[in-house]
């Protein structure tokens, strides 16, 4: 069986830099709902992009497994997901 660290990888340092560089653009959009894949890197992307959004407390964030990347596994939510969200 393939270990989750091989398919549910964390966000690469380049991705972190991209999130931080684009956060100000995201802050200009008046979001009501954000759908997020349960994959670790997409959760991290969401957290980084929206951590300083002026309406963050008004936005509904929904982890939506149907938009995760395609792979076959017993669960598409990686280990430590709850810890990542905290």
pLDDT tens digit string along 46-58?
Answer: 999 999 999 999 9
CB 43 within 8 A of CB 81: yes
82 pLDDT more than 80: no
pLDDT tier at 74 (50, 70, 90 boundaries)? very low
The pair of structure tokens assigned to 18 is: 């991209």
Coil vs helix vs strand at 11: coil
Break the chain into its structural domains and give their ranges: 13-85
- Quote the pTM value: 0.73
pLDDT for the residue numbered 63: 93
Mean of the pLDDT values across residues 67-72?
60
d(CA 66, CA 51): 24
């Amino acid at each position: 069986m393939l270990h989750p660290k091989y398919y549910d990888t964390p966000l690469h340092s380049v991705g972190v830099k991209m999130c931080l560089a684009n956060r100000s653009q995201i802050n200009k959009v008046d979001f009501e709902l954000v759908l997020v894949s349960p994959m670790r890197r997409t959760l991290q992307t969401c957290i980084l992009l929206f951590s300083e959004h002026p309406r963050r407390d008004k936005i509904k964030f929904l982890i939506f497994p149907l938009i995760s990347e395609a792979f076959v596994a017993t669960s598409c939510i990686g280990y430590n997901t709850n810890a990542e969200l905290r």
